[in-house]
Amino acid sequence: MTKMEEFLGKFPNQCEEAIRIANDIFEQRISRDISGYRDRRGILVCGVGGSAAGGDILKDYLYKKIDIPVGVNKDYELPGYADSRTLVFVNSYSGNTEETLSSFMQALDRKCSVVTITSGGKLYQLSKENNIPCIRIPQGMPPRATFAYLFFPMLIVLEKLGYIRIQKEEIQETIRMLEDLKAKCKDPEKNGDNSIIGLLDKLQDRIPLILTSEIFKGCAWRLKSQFNENSKILAFCSTIPELNHNEIEALSQNLPYSKNVFLLLLRDRFESSRLKKRIEITIKIVRDRVDGVFELYSEGEHILTRILSLLHKGDWVSIHLAKRKKIDPIPTPKIDLIKKELGQY
């Protein structure tokens, strides 16, 4: 078993531990009075790469649950609307990523209500120096293997501050589902999971175009990134209905390179009837142009479970693909090189 498989095998436990860590820190160690963090007019999550995934998923999860805008910022600069009425999460696993540190400094300048999540580094130091509430998470993992620690603490903070109510059952269902999926996905060959085996065969020499509905956009981006970082393959993603207003024109052409692409649909059994119909029509138009269509379905009842079930399945697929390609999914030498060449921030 590779180290990355070990991390992924701990994902359900990590979710529980992340909830515990956040509850504990919130109750006992946030020295600053953060009652002023309530009733902000918007929420913004800053971070890049593996540390941004929690933000993307949070945005999807809150889509129907909250009546204020939620944004994700993956750049040096904060958007113009971020001000003293904005609750800002600044997430960097290492705590040393320059884009995120830049966002942090701007958020302080603009007097945003800031909470940081990190395992250490400069972000931890700066949070301490500026008396900013910081949720410190365990060290020693690749950032993308720490999704649970970068995501659940935001939910807990939002709940403690009165922005959302999290039902106990949705957390329970999610953890249960993740345990089930882990058992099924960790060894698809042994478990005879043909959907995953067929997908892995296709991924050997084809480019996935991951397609999903708006509410699972974060999962699609996460899967694209996991394919890029873990399996070192190209992957692209898009959403429907949007794809029906642009890519469909290119996908329906007889382009020589389209045969190198296949559609990987991330689906949900609660899709509206109109969306289902759109997907059917889209498949009908593109089926013979691309090299096949695969579907992965979300599982569970609650939206949290459905989102995280897709995310977890995708994570396993990316790791199995790396294994088939005989590469270690952990090292990301070019990401490190760019950070090194940019030098100290």
Catalytic annotation, residues = 229, 245, 339
CB of 277 to ligand F6R, least distance (A): 36
Stretch that binds ligand F6R, among 45-53, 55-63, 207-215, 243-251 (CB under 6 A): 45-53
Among 21, 34, 43, 48, binds ligand F6R (CB under 6 A): 48
User: According to the binding rule CB under 6 A, does residue 97 interact with ligand F6R?
Assistant: yes
Decide if residue 93 touches ligand F6R (CB under 6 A): yes
Using Cβ positions, the residue closest to ligand F6R within the complex turns out to be: 49
Amino acid at 140: G
Question: Binding to ligand F6R by residue 51, rule CB under 6 A?
Answer: yes
Tokens of 50: 């593996």
Instruction: For ligand F6R, give the closer residue by CB, 93 or 216.
Output: 93
The verdict on 100 binding ligand F6R (CB under 6 A) reads yes
Interface residue with ligand F6R among 12, 42, 49, 153 (CB under 6 A) is: 49
Binding-residue total with ligand F6R (CB under 6 A) = 15
* Nearer of residues 97 and 106 to ligand F6R, judged by Cβ: 97
Among 14, 94, 113, 231, binds ligand F6R (CB under 6 A): 94
Q: Which of 108, 197, 327, 335 binds ligand F6R (CB under 6 A)?
A: 335
- Smallest distance from the beta carbon of 249 to ligand F6R, in angstroms? 32
> Judged by CB, which is closer to ligand F6R: 133, or 143?
143
Residue whose structure tokens are 């999704």: 147
CB atoms within 10 A of CB 111: 11
* Residue at 146: amino acid letter: T
Tell which positions 118-157 bind ligand F6R, by CB under 6 A. 142-144
Measured from the CB atom, the residue of 54 and 133 that comes closer to ligand F6R is 54
Report the alpha-carbon distance of residue 111 to residue 108 in Å, rounded. Answer: 5
Element at 101 (helix H, strand E): helix 98-109
- Minimum separation from the CB atom of position 152 to ligand F6R (A): 16
Angle at 56 between CA 277 and CA 298, to 5 degrees: 45
First to last CA, the chain: 37
* Four-CA torsion 21, 24, 25, 28, nearest 10 degrees: -160
Least distance in Å: CB of 90 to ligand F6R? 10
Cα torsion 194, 198, 199, 200: sign: positive
Beta-carbon contacts of 144 under 8 Å, excluding residues fewer than 6 positions away, are 49, 50, 53, 225, 226, 229, 230
Nearer to ligand F6R, 230 or 298 (CB): 230
Q: Give yes or no for a contact between 113 and 32, defined as CB atoms under 8 angstroms apart.
A: no
* Per-state percent for the chain, helix, strand, coil, to nearest 5: 55, 15, 30
84 contacts: CB under 8 Å, gap ≥ 6: 110, 111, 112, 113
DSSP state for residue 187 in the 8-state scheme: -
Residue 224 near ligand F6R by CB under 6 A: no
Min CB(38)–ligand F6R separation in Å? 28
Contacts with ligand F6R, residue ranges (CB under 6 A): 48-51, 92-94, 97, 100, 142-144, 229, 332, 335
